[in-house]
Amino acid sequence: MENLWKNNLRKIEPYVPGEQSKEQNIVKLNANENPYPPSPKAIEALNSFNCNSLRLYPDANASKLKQALADYYNVTPKNIFVGNGSDDVIAIAFQSFFNGKLPIVYPDLTYSFYPVWCSLFNIPYKTYPVGEDFRINPDDYKEANGGVVIPNPNAPTSIGEGLDFVEKIMNYNRDSVVIIDEAYVDFGGVSSVELTKKYENLLVTGTFSKSRSLAGLRLGFAIGSESLITVMEAVKNSYNSYTVDSLAMEMGTASILDREYFDSTCKKIIATRERVTKEMRSLGFTVLDSSANFIFATRDDLSIKDMFEYLKARKVFIRYFSLPRIDNYVRISIGTDEEMDIFLTELRGYLKK
Ligand SMILES: *Cc1c(COP(=O)(O)O)cnc(C)c1O
């Protein structure tokens, strides 16, 4: 008998993010990152940052960043929580709100981090299958539950739903906290932030990683009633009261204030997405109608896994999930027009093979 201490080590299956390759000259369309640089105002905030201020702990309340977000979303700073990426924010929300006996519920095809948090925090969960058309049926969410989490637009399906959908979910779930994960909403989705004023049990989460080109900075936020935000702050302050660092606060604030650059890059990505969708459909692919910065596509007569591997060998990285129901689909992040042209050229090359 030895190494009995090993019995006490935590056994857990972690979340696996899209591959970050060290290879040069790859076309990286596998992690839904933004192909455009962050706002020039955010870069200016970095360049003029007073490094001596790093001696000091950051403002634990992130007041400046919360104020900028509050102004942007037309809420008060008391309705805002900020953290190190929305993954951090959602993890804290899970710990803050999902403490009941009933399972929390979410779609079977969705962000694969949710089951990981459930396992880490011992939260029971149950999934409802999305329809054949990959849409979420709100009526599934009538059943009593310990909480609801739904990305809108959903990932990896790319499908966005309207406010009528969210209101239905809210009406069925007066007794649970509902989290709407809006990681992709800026690419043509409809935001539920206004509904947080009507429903005290609704939390909307957002991120600087996708539409604001700051995935490496790690900044995310949640918007909800004071009753929800206060609990999240208490949970956060119970293990790390200084989550957002001074530099992230400055760059994030500058990014939020630069509406013009934000609007123009989101618009460019949407235009490129529409062009690539049309192009792929003309090549015989089924492409779901996307409200995100990625598309989800298949072609029945092809092995999509084989296609994915061919493209990877040609330095075009897209995302393939070896999962039930979607193992013949790929998720393609929208890059610049140039990158998407390389993708389309390689794709045509594959089809001619
Ligand atoms: C990317 C993503 C997030 C979080 O990303 P962060 O970089 O941690 O902000 C959250 N939810 C979904 C559905 C995502 O795709």
User: 262-316 pLDDT, tens per residue?
Assistant: 999 999 999 999 999 999 999 999 999 999 999 999 999 999 999 999 999 999 9
Q: In ligand 1, which atom is closest to the CA atom of 88?
A: 8
Give which of 154, 180, 183 is closest to 167, Cα–Cα.
180
Question: Which residue's alpha carbon is nearest to atom 15 within ligand 1?
Answer: 183
Shortest-distance atom of ligand 1 to CA 90: 10
Look at the pTM and tell me if it is higher than 0.95: yes
User: Which ligand 1 atom is at minimum distance from the Cα of 86?
Assistant: 9
Tally the residues of the chain.
353
Whether the CB-CB separation of 72 and 221 falls below 8 Å is answered with: no
pLDDT tens for residues 141-181?
A: 999 999 999 999 999 999 999 999 999 999 999 999 999 99
CA of 87 to the centre of ligand 1 (A): 6
Show the ligand 1 pocket: residues with CB < 6 angstroms.
Answer: 32, 85-87, 111, 151, 155, 181, 183, 207, 209-210, 215, 220
pLDDT > 90 in the chain, percent: 94
Decide the pairing of beta strands 104-107 and 125-128: parallel
In this predicted model, what pLDDT tens digit does every residue of 78-105 receive, in sequence order?
A: 999 999 999 999 999 999 999 999 999 9
Is 1's pLDDT higher than 80?
A: no
For residue range 188-208, list pLDDT tens digits in order: 999 999 999 999 999 999 999
CA of 205 to the centre of ligand 1 (A): 9
Q: What is the mean pLDDT of residues 238-248?
A: 93
Residue 210 φ/ψ, nearest 5 degrees: -100, -70
CB-CB contact of 270 with 188 (8 Å): yes
Mean pLDDT for the chain overall: 96
Report CA(86)–ligand 1 centroid distance (Å): 6
Name the residue with the closest Cα to ligand 1, atom 2: 183
pLDDT tens string 99-109? 999 999 999 99
Give distance in angstroms: CA of 224 to centre of ligand 1: 18
| pLDDT on residue 18 | 73
Q: Whose CA is nearest to atom 12 of ligand 1?
A: 183
Long-range CB pairs of 190-197 (<8 Å, 24+ gap) are: 190/152, 190/160, 190/161, 190/162, 190/163, 192/152, 192/163, 192/166, 193/73, 193/74, 193/75, 193/223, 194/74, 195/163, 195/166, 195/167, 195/170, 196/75, 196/79, 196/223, 196/224, 196/225, 197/75
pLDDT at 283: 98
Determine the distance separating the centroid of ligand 1 and the alpha carbon of 104, expressed in angstroms.
19
Q: Do residues 277 and 95 make contact, with C-beta atoms less than 8 angstroms apart?
A: no
Q: Report the C-alpha dihedral over residues 231, 109, 119, 18, rounded to 10 degrees.
A: -100
Cα 119 to Cα 13, 26, 323: the distances in Å are: 8, 34, 19
Over residues 107-124, the mean pLDDT reads 97
- Give yes or no for a contact between 246 and 53, defined as CB atoms under 8 angstroms apart: yes
Asked whether the beta carbons of 226 and 38 are under 8 A apart, the reply is: no
Residue 297 CA to ligand 1 centre (angstroms): 20
Could you tell me the distance, in angstroms and rounded to a whole number, from the CA of residue 155 to the centre of ligand 1? 10
| Stronger pLDDT, 21 or 347, i.e. the higher one | 347
Spatial distance between the Cα atoms of 248 and 220, rounded to a whole number of angstroms: 10
Two structure tokens written together for 269 = 């990505």
Q: In the predicted model, what is the mean pLDDT of residues 329-348?
A: 98
